[in-house]
Amino acid sequence: MDYVSALLPPVVMAIFFTVVIVTIVKSQGGPNKSKEDAAVDAAFARAEAARTEGAPKPGKA
């Protein structure tokens, strides 16, 4: 019976890891990819706009 208690945690973790990997792979691309890409592009645009607003203008002291 000790072998069951010794093997159970690694088997459970292996199954969990497999499920996580399969979920990650399945969620890549598909119909939500354009929404995700648009959200990332919008976040980059906001960050760039905030960065350029705070920067000093060239030629002004």
* Confidence grade of residue 55 (pLDDT, cut at 50, 70, 90): low
Give residue 58's pLDDT: 64
Give residue 61's pLDDT: 52
| pLDDT one-digit tens code per residue, 6-45 | 999 999 999 999 999 999 888 777 777 777 788 889 999 9
* Angle at the Cα of 37 from the Cα atoms of 32 and 41, rounded to 5 degrees: 150
**Domain residue spans in the chain?**
3-46
pLDDT higher at 28 or 49: 49
pTM of the shown model: 0.47
* Angle at the Cα of 43 from the Cα atoms of 39 and 47, rounded to 5 degrees: 170
Question: What distances in angstroms separate CA 16 from CA 4, 5, 60, one per listed residue?
Answer: 18, 17, 58
Task: Answer whether residue 4 shows pLDDT above 70.
Answer: yes
